[in-house]
Chains A and B, each alone.
Chain A
Amino acid sequence: MSLLVAVVVASAGCAALKFAGFVVPARALDSGAAKRVVEALPIALLSGLIAVSTFGAGQHLTLASRAAGLLVAVLLVMRRAPFLVVVVAACAVAAAVHAVSG
């Protein structure tokens, strides 16, 4: 039930954010400090998500096979590999490391 609430609230909120850009004056978002924050937010959030989804396990830090997957993903992204290659290679390496390390 709570998951359905999450789906509905997140969907409605994200739709409202998309629509907001069509109704608020462009300069409210597209200039100055507001623009810098809006453009920097995904960077901070995505890097936080990368770190926590790789090294977090509940309220602990861990070094699991997915860290090897992340390493491969970073190397491939730096070589500008396509998304498919990045994700498949990361999953394959993580699965292989998991199989080897047991």
Chain B
Amino acid sequence: MWAGRWAGRIGPQSLAAALGVVGGRPDAGDSRRASRGVHPSGVRLSFELKVHDARPAHPAPGAADQTGMLRQAFVGKYHQMSVVAEIAARRRIRNRALAVGASVVPFGLSFGATSVEAHFSVVQTCLLSLVLFSGASQFALVSVVGAGGSVVSGVSTALLLGVRNALYATRIAATLKPRGWRRAVTAQFTIDETTAMAIAEEDSGHAREAFWVTAVAVFALWNIATLIGALAGNALGSPAVAGLDAAAPAAFTALLAPRLTTWRLRALALSAAGLALLCVSFVPVGAPILIGAATVFAMLSVRDR
């Protein structure tokens, strides 16, 4: 099921799948079917109905009447169910947002620790989480600078990783439609997690709620985790002894995996990594990653089958 869902998809959809937030969507061929409608009060509904529960397993004489009665009973309960469905949807969104928020805690802790190991101060580390607020870019910056790379290559890597947020922002702009100054505030919170949560919702009201609940959960937990990680990183000794030097590669692996949805993208990942390793001895630290990223342009000439 997962493989089929991921096939041919990259970007926020696959992230949504990775975060497990598309699970609420009905699957074709599933025994459950989503029913959607507009309640007389104008509240849009989106709920799932177990079809086999409402249908007799063995059609008996008069089965059509029975089904009709069941349908009438269902319509009678329509109003009640709409409220129940709305509460259930909010609870589902809140629970997922909390789960997504919790998932950034270990990442934040390892970022904080890695950042102070790279000689960023605790304040600078917290500034990155507060203002830059994009995990992969932050981790890339401190990872490159910490390895001895120049500030220019560290910042370049962070900015190139941040380009995808611009693509997410086009989707969020179309879904949430913020106006005026709200665009700037929404932009700050447009990241992998919030985008994945928002686009997993079909209802625009739910999408807005999913975006903001996730934004608050992730922002709060990410910054608290960064601070604790930074303070703990100061206290921990050599990164190799605590195994902290494995945190960055492991974190990057977890961020990368859900994006490798096609063989073309897997080949791209391998060639970028290979090219970067080949350059390590010949160019300044930090530059191999940027050179490896140039394989993206080679990929453009290869068509997906």
Contacts and interface: CB of A to CB of B under 8 A. Distances in A.
Interface of A: 2-7, 9-11, 13-15, 17-24, 26, 29-30, 33, 35-56, 58-61, 64-66, 68-70, 72-74, 77-78, 80, 82-84, 86-96, 98-99
Interface in B69-118: 103-107, 110
A49 B242 CA distance: 21
A38 B169 CA distance: 12
B243 A98 contact: yes
A38 B128 contact: no
Interface residues of B, number: 102
A77 B147 CA distance: 25
A94 B293 contact: no
A83 to B, nearest CB: 5
Contacts of B187: 15, 18-19, 21-22
Main secondary structure of the interface of A (DSSP, over half): helix
Contacts, number: 316
Contacts of B197: none
A41 B161 contact: yes
B152 to A, nearest CB: 9
A59 B43 CA distance: 61
A96 B243 contact: yes
Main secondary structure of the interface of B (DSSP, over half): helix
Nearest to A51: B273
Contacts of A9: 155
A64 B21 CA distance: 36
Contact of A21 (B124, B140, B173, B299): B173
Most central of B137, B256, B265 by chain A CB within 10 Å: B256
A98 to B, nearest CB: 5
Given A43-B260, A90-B249, 14 more contacts: A3-B124, A7-B131, A21-B170, A41-B164, A43-B296, A48-B288, A49-B144, A50-B256, A51-B274, A52-B277, A77-B257, A82-B103, A90-B250, A95-B246
